[in-house]
Amino acid sequence: MWIHVFVLAAMAALAVLVFGGRLPKQEILTRREWKLLLLLLAAGNSLGAYLTYVQNEDCQWEEDMYFEKNAAGEGSYEEKMQARVGGEQASVYVRIPEQTGEKTEDDEQEPETAAPGLNEQLQQAVNDYNDKRQEDEKYYLPQSLEGERIVWSRPWDTSGNIIAALCVAGACCIPVQKQKNREKMRRERYRQMLLDYPNLITRLSLLVEAGMTVRRALGKIALDYKQKRGRSVRFAYEELLKSYYEMESGVMEEQAYENFGARCGHPKYRTLAALLAQNLRRGNRRLLEVLEKESTEAFEERKRYARVQGETAAAKLLIPMVLQLVIVLIILIVPACISFYQT
């Protein structure tokens, strides 16, 4: 039962840490997810404790308890029992014969923790005791060996402990998997924003060159994305749309640009936000030139990224190609070898 007590104590400590504000809930799991995790632990531990209690409730055998013999023709069977005699303990495999009265040879396994000879003595005592009783349907266990009391018990059933341990392992996998998903999402967000940056900066440059102010140009880009968005979410344009709503709600333009760069978190977007904020302070005399230069650099970086992705994809395809080559060689060589040996 110790594992169930341990899990219960761990659950209590975890609940205190989470709901006491000691663990960052949103960075690992949300409050609802913590509740589900604790519920999983509680359900698994309760089920395991119940099984442990039920399976081991009649673990120790009392006097005159017996095994039921199989009917004639059904064969004998074995039961593993634990026996404690005078401070010594042994694992005994008791063979229960059929209801024929015939004696069968007991091929017992050596006990794991028994003292030398104790297993054989116990087995002989079992046989002698049942020979004296001559019961046709029941097979008893003796209560004493050479004046020493024998305490019989079934081996401890660990299925409840296994269930509790599996629930703990499953609960531990939840935050790990959650972190992996978040890391995967972060990488996908970074990749998508890197690919969208050249198009965004190019459209901004064209609209500013056409005579629009930066604010109007960004608003047009954001609203165009909103109209065509559908189910395809682009993280950079989503952040731009938030900045547009901020400016429309009264937030200062410079602050909205800084918030945009901070939310994106990508170095390129931080640079763009700094350029736009600097443009408000110094005017837009060189803004168009800076945007064109930034657009050129963004497209070059996108090309480099595409080359790296292509090399990575080629490396991943190498293993399937090798496997296909091996299969082709097997298809060609095996029939040739078979025909050679047949001739």
Residue environment code for 117-152, b if the CB has 16+ CB neighbours within 10 A, otherwise e: ebbbbbbebbbebbeeeeeeeebbbbbebeeeebeb
**Rounded-to-integer distance, Cα 90 and Cα 122, Å:** 9
Eight-state DSSP code of residue 100: T
DSSP string, 165-184: HHHHHHHHHHHHHHHHHHHH
**Rounded-to-integer distance, Cα 139 and Cα 126, Å:** 9
Instruction: Determine how many CB atoms are found less than 10 A away from the CB of residue 64.
Output: 9
pLDDT at 67 (0 to 100): 67
pLDDT at 195 (0 to 100): 87
pLDDT at 114 (0 to 100): 41
pLDDT at 242 (0 to 100): 92
Q: Are 90 and 115 in contact (CB under 8 A)?
A: yes
Q: Are 113 and 89 in contact (CB under 8 A)?
A: yes
pLDDT at 128 (0 to 100): 75
Q: For the chain, what are the domain ranges?
A: 2-58+159-174, 66-153, 183-306
**Rounded-to-integer distance, Cα 81 and Cα 64, Å:** 15
Q: What is the pLDDT along the chain (343 residues), one digit of tens a residue?
A: 667 777 778 778 777 777 776 666 556 677 777 778 888 888 888 888 877 777 666 665 666 665 667 777 777 777 777 677 766 677 777 777 777 644 544 444 444 444 446 777 777 777 777 777 777 777 767 776 766 777 676 666 777 778 888 888 888 888 888 888 888 888 888 888 888 888 888 888 888 888 888 889 899 999 999 888 877 888 999 999 999 999 999 889 889 999 999 998 888 889 888 888 888 877 666 777 888 888 888 888 878 878 887 877 777 788 888 888 889 888 888 888 888 777 6
pLDDT at 55 (0 to 100): 65
DSSP string, 184-246: HHHHHHHHHHHHHHHHHHHHHHHHHHTT--HHHHHHHHHHHHHHH-TT---HHHHHHHHHHHH
pTM of the model: 0.56
**Rounded-to-integer distance, Cα 215 and Cα 243, Å:** 10
pLDDT at 220 (0 to 100): 92
pLDDT at 132 (0 to 100): 75
pLDDT at 153 (0 to 100): 66
**Rounded-to-integer distance, Cα 112 and Cα 60, Å:** 19
**Rounded-to-integer distance, Cα 222 and Cα 237, Å:** 6
Question: Which candidate, 212, 213, 204, 320, places its Cα nearest to that of 272?
Answer: 204
**Rounded-to-integer distance, Cα 80 and Cα 268, Å:** 70
Count of alpha carbons within 13 angstroms of residue 170, beta-carbon side: 16
Question: Which candidate, 129, 320, 260, 2, places its Cα nearest to that of 268?
Answer: 260
**Rounded-to-integer distance, Cα 203 and Cα 221, Å:** 8
Question: Which candidate, 154, 133, 146, places its Cα nearest to that of 83?
Answer: 154
pLDDT at 338 (0 to 100): 82
Instruction: Determine how many CB atoms are found less than 10 A away from the CB of residue 86.
Output: 14
* Helix-strand-coil split of the chain, %, nearest 5: 65, 10, 25
Strand ranges in the chain using DSSP code E only, listed in sequence order: 66-68, 77-85, 88-96, 138-140, 144-145, 148-153
Count of alpha carbons within 13 angstroms of residue 249, beta-carbon side: 8
Count of residues making up the chain: 343
Q: Letter for the amino acid at 277?
A: A
